[in-house]
Amino acid sequence: MLAIYGGRVSASFPSLSSDAIFIADAHHKQDSSTFPLLLDQLLDKPPSQVFLMGDIFHILVGKVASSVRPHQVILEKIQTLSHVSEVFYFEGNHDLGLHALPFFQRVRVYSRAQQPAFFLWKNRLFALAHGDLFVGWGYEFYISSLRRFGNVLGYLDRAFSSLYPALQKRIDAKRIKTLEFNQIELAHFAQRRLNLYRAHAQKNSADLGGVIEGHFHLGEYYQNPHTQECYWGLPSFYCSRLAPTLKVMSKN
């Protein structure tokens, strides 16, 4: 089926490459070497595409200088990588306001408002997002408040230099967990997510082929046996040290 979106044929959408690497929920903290090492490996053998699927940093607020400063070297590495690979960065709920960063001239940043974004894979349209979409009004209120606070924090950070480090210490202490399902629970969860994304796609005259999202720290794959729609719940790089390619993911 030819994917249609807003009256435009599928050729209007960017395509996913088979060697595209997906990195989700790395939750990088200042003293960790794992994510920087992965970036070095990608710079050594760059793939055609790199997708940073949100929560790459445990806390990064683009408008807060004290938040950006500890990660400057890594942010510059991401920019360097964007000269040899296409780099797409989907904001999560731990990395906000990335459009304010001066490092990302060549990195394609998707704010939460720009998600999901649609990409073509094997002539089917896939919705890509960090994953914290369509989860209820309570979460919407929380994330909207968090983003507004991020804007205010940028001003407070300049006046009270001790404020952000105290906040970061509390966030760093938060435990990071994975979401685990049995096969029946996974099927229910994945189908519910597919239904939500499909409803969004249909509002924009799009035929959905599948979903690729992070946020839930799943590391699971599901395919609807009737519609053949695919759901990839990406693994948390922080928990699993996995950054799969699309080619490997599609073998599930």
What is d(CA 17, CA 50) in angstroms, rounded to the nearest whole number?
10
Strand partners, 51: 22, 88
pLDDT of residue 1: 38
Full domain range(s) for residue 18: 4-249
The CATH number of the domain holding residue 55 is: 3.60.21.10
pLDDT of residue 7: 44
Helix (H) or strand (E) holding 88: strand 86-90
pLDDT of residue 113: 94
DSSP, res 166: H
**Distance between terminal CA atoms of the chain?**
22
What is d(CA 84, CA 79) in angstroms, rounded to the nearest whole number?
10
Can you give the pTM of this predicted structure? 0.90
Q: Which amino acid is at 230?
A: C
Helix (H) or strand (E) holding 21: strand 21-23
pLDDT tens sequence for the chain (252 residues): 344 444 444 558 999 999 999 999 999 998 899 999 999 999 999 999 999 999 999 999 988 888 899 999 999 999 999 999 999 999 999 999 999 888 898 999 999 999 999 999 998 999 999 999 998 889 888 888 877 777 777 656 665 666 777 778 887 877 888 888 999 999 999 999 999 999 999 987 888 999 999 999 999 999 999 999 999 999 999 999 999 998 888 776
Strand intervals (E) in 97-229: 108-110, 117-121, 124-129, 208-213, 220-223
The SS3 assignment for 119 reads strand
- Tally of structural domains, the chain: 1
pLDDT of residue 148: 77
